[in-house]
Amino acid sequence: MEHPILFISVILDWIGLPVPHGPIGTTFLEKLCEPYLTYSWLVMAFLFVVPKLTLGKLELIPGTGQNFWEVLIGGILDFFAEHMGRKQARMLFPILATFFLYTLLANMIGLLPGFMSPTSSLNITIAMTIIVWVMHHVLGFRYHGWKYYKHFTGPILLMAPFMIILELIGNFARLVSLSMRLFGNILAKEILLGVLFMLAGAFFAPLPILALGVLVSLIQAVVFVLLAVVYCVGAMEHAH
């Protein structure tokens, strides 16, 4: 949508699959061939294949590939442990680290010509946000039982119906703001790059934005995961 040429769409078109011309297709097959979906699968395939290739067999004396992944995974785990404690960090590590790696790669991939960021589609970000949102409520229920719902009513009994409405609105606002922030930042980056490339691509006009894009991609990935951590910690430690 933002970039002039998306190579996966070109390949799919060449094979004979119906690639939608707008952002959203009409038939089921067109929906499957939407660029953000195919690029999301590309990112997933990358995250499956590249660790498999670089890691190989785990060895006692790590080689280059194993060193890289050990540092990365260890760093992420320490980062989570700082915020939520070692035990909870180990429990939530698989889902949160997956979110981090996927979001980071999905943000970054849009910087290459011929690729787009899957996270510049609201469908992808809202899907991730719904998972995080449901997860933190499930965690709250698991840690506190029915008492978890009691904190929605606030301290004063008379104010309870009022407070329930406020908490409900606040909770849905979380859902909207978390998905909209990631989507908005990445879409802005994509559109800016596309426009600058079309206007003055021959004079390297997009270069500074490319450099900023790396920063934005990293920060947005970290912030998304960090907010998921903050919500989970808040749900787990609510002891009113």
Partner 1 sequence: MAEEERGILTELARYGQIGTTFAASIFIGFGIGWWLDNKLFAGKTTPWFSFIFLGFGIAAGFKHLWDLSKKISDD
**Which residues here bind partner 1, judged by CB under 8 A?**
82-83, 165-167, 169-170, 172-174, 176-178, 180-181, 219, 222-223, 226-227, 230
Report the C-alpha gap between 24 and 116 in whole angstroms.
15
- How many Cβ atoms from other residues are within 10 Å of residue 10's Cβ? 12
DSSP letter assigned to residue 26: S
Nearer to partner 1, 12 or 180 (CB): 180
CA–CA distance, 11 with 173 (Å, rounded to integer): 40
Residue with Cβ nearer partner 1 (69 or 79):
79
Work out how close the CB of 69 gets to partner 1 at its nearest, in angstroms, rounded to a whole number. Answer: 22
Residue with tokens 């700082």: 82
Query: Which CB sits closer to partner 1, 37 or 222?
Result: 222
131 vs 159 by CB, closer to partner 1: 159
Distance between CA atoms of residues 209 and 215, nearest Å? 10
Tokens representing residue 223 in the block: 């912030």
Distances (CA, A) of 211 to 98, 120, 206, 208, 217: 25, 18, 9, 5, 10
Task: CB nearer to partner 1: give 13 or 78.
Answer: 78
For partner 1, which is the closer residue by CB, 109 or 178?
A: 178
Q: Which amino acid is at 84?
A: M
- Alpha-carbon dihedral angle through residues 122, 16, 7, 193, given to the nearest 10 degrees: -40
- Rounded least distance, CB 181 to partner 1, Å: 5
* Sequence-separated (6 or more) residues with CB below 8 Å from residue 160: 153, 154
Return the number of the residue (13 or 237) whose C-beta is nearest partner 1. Answer: 237
* The residue type at 230: V
The amino acid occupying position 111 is L
Q: How far is the CB of 48 from partner 1 (least distance, A)?
A: 28
Q: How far is the CB of 90 from partner 1 (least distance, A)?
A: 17
Cβ at position 84, least distance to partner 1 in Å: 9
CB of 23 to partner 1, least distance (A): 22
Residue 33 CB, shortest distance to partner 1, in Å, is: 32
